[in-house]
Amino acid sequence: AGGPSYDDVLQATAEIRILDDTCYFPQVPSGPVNAQDLTSGAGSCRSKCRRRMDCSGYWEEGQNCWVITSKSSNAGVSKTVASFTARAKCEEGATCIYLKATTAQFIQGKYCPKGKRDDVTIYSRAGQTREDE
């Protein structure tokens, strides 16, 4: 395929902020976990977990924020709850990212590290590019 419609260059600006090298993935723990209720205080549940060295995950239950910690003094939560588990070394050059852009849907998709150029990680997504045609 080709033609005048394919010769237009579509542009979009995407701002990506990398906070640290920890990502959070949905997961159901295999058993009881040590958790602490951090409902009081400012900030999102994720940011409360991010600020703690001993936090390995979190979940929200209504207005309550629970963080999973290594402290055995915390009450073990025996119910099985879907939580977000922290994964370290989730960093630039090692992790794929998913972009969602409602005003520029042509850039939406999963981008994975492809290499480096000038000390900057280059991300690519599956599909044909103009150079591939």
Q: If DSSP codes are grouped into helix, strand and coil, which group holds residue 133?
A: coil
Domains of the chain, by residue range, sit at: 4-18+92-132, 23-87
CA separation for the pair 133, 130 (Å, rounded): 5
Structure tokens of 79?
A: 């119910």
Which CATH number fits the domain 23-87, given the four candidates 1.10.10, 3.30.43, 3.40.50, 3.50.4?
A: 3.50.4
Sequential pLDDT tens for the chain (133 residues) = 556 665 666 676 666 666 667 788 888 877 778 888 888 877 889 889 888 888 889 999 888 898 888 766 655 565 567 788 888 777 667 778 888 777 778 888 888 888 888 877 888 888 766 665 5
Taking the whole predicted model, whether its pTM rises above 0.95 is answered as no
Q: From CA 78, how far away is CA 69, in angstroms rounded?
A: 14
